[in-house]
């Protein structure tokens, strides 16, 4: 595997690790036994890592969620499915590559898997439009949802998007309407739907694939009504207040679980999914299967009702006269 | 192009050329004289008001508040408000430069409303309806938990009483201060529309100046019939966000009602003076018994 790119807040760890490497080289070149010092430093590094990664600030988690080496939709598909077949296009003129969908087996069970795809190279980013769908992407997803419903396949959506694309063509072909239509149609699906926010879960662009019976998040993923940068530029008139906005918006998995917006948190390897992608994939697979097993007893009507009730109850109001 | 069409297109061009921000300045209705943003005419306020807050000279539609909208659209004395005392909480204890609680108080004092929407039942030219009107003056008409809950309850009431639903939108989008709870109102209201559909209830949305973001991406565009009020601007993303993303200048008519009609996103554009009868007629056309 290629070397992990470090994030700014990880600098202290890398400094200790460099030190350890130096001591090892010195020991080898000079023949002096430095194993005691190396052990101590190694232990210190481990302790420090645990402390750092278990106390991440929201904006640090966002940096992990956006890490260029974070597993993408296709990484998950490659790691957790067999017999995968991709289906293309919205049947109305477009195949939006920022949303990919197909059928594959997870643990032998065929299911529809749809998600947003991000790229790692410039060429890929152009192809996948940085994981920012146009209306045609949402319509392709909806076409596939209906396909799954017809053949009684469970649906899994895997979401990592900075939001629906804000552009001229996207407005002309009805970005708002396409997302709205998905919200409405997903509410009625008679098969179990499981959504996982794996990285960025921004705004209506994410929700348009996430009206699910079970919504899960990876430990360092974030789910928000607006990007912290967008929020900061409106409310603080300065996008550089994004860390403050990230705190205020409460976008982390633990808060969202406590608030019953999501149903579970998928553990990541220490430091984030990109350090051990296979582990993250395996954990995601386990959670998806657990969620499905919890829904397996429900008939079609109960599946719809379960989802409806979940979203009907969201929000906080009070009776008051100001 | 005939002379009449040419004049008309000139007029429309002028309409479209007005800066987007002009529409965001509070209308100066209430003062003795009103200056039209579009044609610049100084008009007696009373005359403008009597003309449904439409400029008698050029037809420019001034933004109106929710109370005025209800007065204009609902039959005299027919409107009965529902859920008037439903208020917001502050689930995130949100604070930017100002605490959310302070912003709520300010908005309440300014609008005399609990939140950014009025719901109720009444009649439109004799036709019974369940109606909701969003209030842009309340924190930009943003959708938080109260807006989502009141729309859901209104739709449930409409199903119970078998009433058509008419919603006048006017919103900058989601209410950031309620974070994820605000986002979830998009799902909640869309689920409520799915129940309307299941019960074959007619649902008309009237997109008024301005309708953006979370409202466009949920109940705003889920109407069986979507009407855009003349002069309204609408869309998913805001103009500034799009310009920053694509780094190019947008066409001058971008995100106007006319623009969305041309691109097939709305059923019709309706001027304010035709709105009431248009809605009533649509209700009658859809009221046939099986
Ligand atoms: Zn005028």
**Overall average pLDDT of the A245-259 stretch:** 97
| Ligand 1 geometric centre to CA of A241 (Å) | 41
Using the beta-carbon criterion (under 8 Å), do A251 and B145 form an inter-chain contact? no
Range with the poorest average pLDDT among A23-37, A280-294, B3-17, B137-151 = B3-17
Using the beta-carbon criterion (under 8 Å), do A308 and B191 form an inter-chain contact? yes
Q: Taking 60 as the threshold, does the pLDDT of residue B251 lie above it?
A: yes
| Ligand 1 geometric centre to CA of B62 (Å) | 9
**Overall average pLDDT of the B268-273 stretch:** 98
List, in sequence order, the alpha helices (H) in A86-215. Answer: 122-128, 135-150, 168-172, 175-188, 203-207
Phi then psi for B251, rounded to 5 degrees? -60, 150
Q: What is the largest CA-CA distance in chain A?
A: 80
User: How far apart are alpha carbons B282 and B284 in whole angstroms?
Assistant: 5
Torsion of CA A244, A248, A249, A253, to 10 degrees: 90
- Residues of chain B in contact with residue A185, where contact means CB-CB under 8 angstroms, are 194
Residue among B82, B77, B134 at smallest CA distance from B111: B134
User: How far apart are alpha carbons A218 and A65 in whole angstroms?
Assistant: 9
Q: How far is A95 from chain B (nearest CA, A)?
A: 20
**Overall average pLDDT of the A15-30 stretch:** 91
In this complex, how many residue pairs, one in chain A and one in chain B, have their CB atoms less than 8 Å apart?
Answer: 206
Q: Taking 60 as the threshold, does the pLDDT of residue A177 lie above it?
A: yes
Of A236, A308, A315, the CB nearest to B184: A315
| Ligand 1 geometric centre to CA of A298 (Å) | 60
Of A171, A223, A236, the CB nearest to B96: A236
Torsion of CA A49, A51, A52, A53, to 10 degrees: 80
pLDDT tens by residue, B71-122: 999 999 999 999 999 999 999 999 999 999 999 999 999 999 999 999 999 9
Q: Taking 80 as the threshold, does the pLDDT of residue A2 lie above it?
A: no
Q: Taking 50 as the threshold, does the pLDDT of residue B11 lie above it?
A: no
Range with the poorest average pLDDT among A24-33, A226-235, B255-264 = A24-33
Q: Taking 50 as the threshold, does the pLDDT of residue B20 lie above it?
A: no
Q: Taking 90 as the threshold, does the pLDDT of residue A163 lie above it?
A: yes
User: How far apart are alpha carbons A112 and A84 in whole angstroms?
Assistant: 10
Q: Taking 50 as the threshold, does the pLDDT of residue A217 lie above it?
A: yes
**pLDDT for the residue numbered B6:** 47
Q: Taking 50 as the threshold, does the pLDDT of residue B12 lie above it?
A: no
| Ligand 1 geometric centre to CA of B37 (Å) | 7
pLDDT tens by residue, A149-159: 999 999 999 99
Contact call for residues B127 and B283 (beta carbons, < 8 A): yes
SS (H, E, C) B236-249: CCCHHHHHHHHCCC
**pLDDT for the residue numbered A258:** 97
Q: Residue A10 gets which letter from DSSP?
A: G
Q: Taking 70 as the threshold, does the pLDDT of residue B19 lie above it?
A: no
- Residues of chain B in contact with residue A177, where contact means CB-CB under 8 angstroms, are 216-217, 221, 265
Using the beta-carbon criterion (under 8 Å), do B176 and A203 form an inter-chain contact? no
Chain B interface disruption, residue of A135, A159, A175, A177, most B CBs within 10 A:
A177
**Overall average pLDDT of the B220-233 stretch:** 98
Task: Please give the mean pLDDT across all residues of chain A.
Answer: 96
DSSP A73-122: HHHHHHHH-EEEEEE---SSS---TTEEEEEEEETTEEEEEEEE---SSH
User: How far apart are alpha carbons B226 and B208 in whole angstroms?
Assistant: 11
> What ipTM, to 2 d.p.?
0.96
**pLDDT for the residue numbered B36:** 94
- Predicted confidence band at B288 (pLDDT cuts at 50, 70, 90)? confident
* Chain A interface includes B283 (CB < 8 A): no
Chain B interface disruption, residue of A145, A164, A180, most B CBs within 10 A:
A180
| Ligand 1 geometric centre to CA of B238 (Å) | 25
Q: What percent of chain B has pLDDT over 70?
A: 89
Of A164, A183, A315, the CB nearest to B145: A315
**pLDDT for the residue numbered B29:** 46
Give contacts of B 206-265 with A, CB under 8 A.
213-214, 216-222, 235-238, 241-242, 245-246, 250-251, 254-255, 263-265
| Ligand 1 geometric centre to CA of B58 (Å) | 4
Of B174, B176, B216, the CB nearest to A235: B176
- Residues of chain B in contact with residue A165, where contact means CB-CB under 8 angstroms, are 245
């Amino acid at each position: 595997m290629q070397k992990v790119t470090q994030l700014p807040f990880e600098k202290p760890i890398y400094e200790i690790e460099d030190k350890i490497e130096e001591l090892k080289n010195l020991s080898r070149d000079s023949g002096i036994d430095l194993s005691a010092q190396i052990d101590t430093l190694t232990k210190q590094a481990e302790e420090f890592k645990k402390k750092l990664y278990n106390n991440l600030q929201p904006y640090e988690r966002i940096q992990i969620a956006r890490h260029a080496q974070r597993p993408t939709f296709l990484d998950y598909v490659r790691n957790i499915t067999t017999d995968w077949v991709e289906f293309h296009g919205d049947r109305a003129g477009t195949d939006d590559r920022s949303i990919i969908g197909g059928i594959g087996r997870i643990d032998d069970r065929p299911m529809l898997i749809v998600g947003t795809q991000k790229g790692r190279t410039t060429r890929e980013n152009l192809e996948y439009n940085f994981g920012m769908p146009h209306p045609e992407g949402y319509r392709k997803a909806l076409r596939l949802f209906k396909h799954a419903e017809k053949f009684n396949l469970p649906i899994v959506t895997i979401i990592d998007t900075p939001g629906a694309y804000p552009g001229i063509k996207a407005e002309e072909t009805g970005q708002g309407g396409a997302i709205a239509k998905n919200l409405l149609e997903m509410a009625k699906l008679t098969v179990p739907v499981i959504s996982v926010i794996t990285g960025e879960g921004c705004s209506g662009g994410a929700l348009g694939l996430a009206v699910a019976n079970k919504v899960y998040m990876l430990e360092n993923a974030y789910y928000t009504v607006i990007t912290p940068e967008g929020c900061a530029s409106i409310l603080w008139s300065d996008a550089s207040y994004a860390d403050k906005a990230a705190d205020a918006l409460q976008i982390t998995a633990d808060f969202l679980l406590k608030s019953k917006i999501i149903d579970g948190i998928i553990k990541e390897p220490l430091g984030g999914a990109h350090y051990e992608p296979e582990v993250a994939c395996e954990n995601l697979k386990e959670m998806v299967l657990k969620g499905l097993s919890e829904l397996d007893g429900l008939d079609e009507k109960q599946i719809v009702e379960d989802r409806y009730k979940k979203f009907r109850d969201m929000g906080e109001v009070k009776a008051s006269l100001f | 192009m005939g002379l009449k069409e040419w004049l008309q297109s000139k007029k429309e061009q002028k309409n479209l050329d007005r800066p987007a921000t002009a529409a965001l300045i509070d209308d100066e209705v209430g003062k003795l004289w009103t200056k039209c943003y579009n044609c610049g005419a100084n008009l007696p306020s009373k005359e403008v008001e009597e003309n449904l807050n439409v400029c008698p000279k050029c037809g420019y539609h001034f933004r109106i508040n929710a109370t005025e909208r209800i007065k204009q659209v609902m039959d005299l004395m027919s409107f009965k408000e529902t859920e008037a005392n439903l208020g917001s909480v502050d689930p995130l204890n949100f604070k930017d430069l100002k605490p959310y609680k302070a912003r709520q108080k300010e908005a309440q004092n300014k609008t005399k409303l609990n939140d950014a929407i009025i719901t109720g039942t009444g009649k439109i030219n004799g036709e019974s309806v369940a109606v909701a009107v969003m209030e842009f003056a309340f924190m930009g008409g943003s959708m938080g938990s109260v807006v989502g809950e009141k729309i859901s309850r209104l739709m449930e009431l409409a199903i119970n009483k078998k009433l058509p639903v008419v919603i006048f939108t006017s919103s900058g989008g989601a209410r950031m201060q309620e974070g994820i709870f605000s986002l979830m109102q998009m799902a909640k209201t869309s689920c409520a529309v799915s129940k309307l559909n299941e019960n074959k209830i007619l649902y008309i949305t009237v997109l008024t100046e301005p309708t953006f973001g979370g409202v466009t991406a949920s109940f705003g565009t889920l109407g069986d019939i979507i009407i855009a009020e003349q002069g309204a601007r609408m869309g998913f993303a805001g103009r500034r966000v799009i310009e920053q993303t694509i780094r190019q200048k947008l066409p001058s008519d971008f995100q106007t009602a006319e623009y969305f009609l041309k691109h097939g996103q709305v059923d019709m554009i309706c001027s304010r003076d035709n709105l009431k009868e248009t809605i009533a007629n649509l209700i009658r056309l859809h009221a046939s018994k099986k």
